[in-house]
Amino acid sequence: VRDYSILQKLAALTFKGFVDADWGTCRDSRRSTTGFCMFLGSSIIFWKSKKQDTVSRSSAKAEYRVLSLASREMVWLIKLLTDLKVSPTATPILFSDSTSAIYIATNPVFHERTKHNEMDCHSVPERIDKGIIKTLHVRTEDQVADILTKPLFP
């Protein structure tokens, strides 16, 4: 009997996402572009690219905003997959090429330099602490979401 399913076998089903942001490249507004994509196994199941709603004061903040947005989307997708009786085999992982954003997410100590991140900061560390998601560094050259932050024309 052949199996013609779209997804891989459940024994090796991983859920991972790649997040990236540029920093203030919009010449008119100086807002950053956010991009992220989610994979179930080796299949892409969700992606998004958009200009951030507000101007980021640093590249770390731009990267952290996309980490926060992607973690919210990942939680929603986990709930959807659970409703569909599909369970990833390990804790979902968000990969970022920004060590600063990962550090802010995993060490949510608020001080003068990160005070403006406070509203966004609460959700990501909480999801990490609860084991809902993990964050890991990925080299820039291996960053799948990089293409989602680049303009199609010069």
Report the range out of 11-15, 51-55, 89-93 with the highest average pLDDT.
Answer: 89-93
116 CB-near residues (< 8 Å, 6+ apart):
57, 61
The whole domain housing 87 covers: 10-149
Q: Give the pLDDT confidence of 43-58 residue by residue, as tens digits.
A: 999 999 888 888 887 8
What is the predicted pLDDT for the residue at 19?
94
Number of domains in the chain: 1
14 lies in a domain? yes
Token pair of 54 as six digits = 């507000």
Confidence at residue 1, expressed as pLDDT on a 0 to 100 scale? 59
pLDDT beyond 70 at 107: yes
Reported as a pLDDT band with limits 50, 70 and 90, residue 60 is confident
Q: What per-residue confidence (pLDDT) applies to 122? A: 62
With respect to residue 20, please indicate whether it lies within any of the assigned structural domains: yes
Would residue 74 count as lying in a domain?
yes
Chain mean pLDDT for the chain? 81
Q: How many C-beta atoms lie closer than 10 Å to residue 99's C-beta?
A: 11
Residue 5 lies in a domain: no
Is 4 contained in some domain?
no
| 1 assigned to some structural domain | no
* pLDDT for 115 beyond 60: no
Q: Kindly state the average pLDDT of the residues 98-120.
A: 69
Cα distances (angstroms) measured from residue 138 to each of 42, 52, 121, 145: 17, 22, 21, 11
As a whole number of angstroms, the distance between CA 104 and CA 39 comes to 24
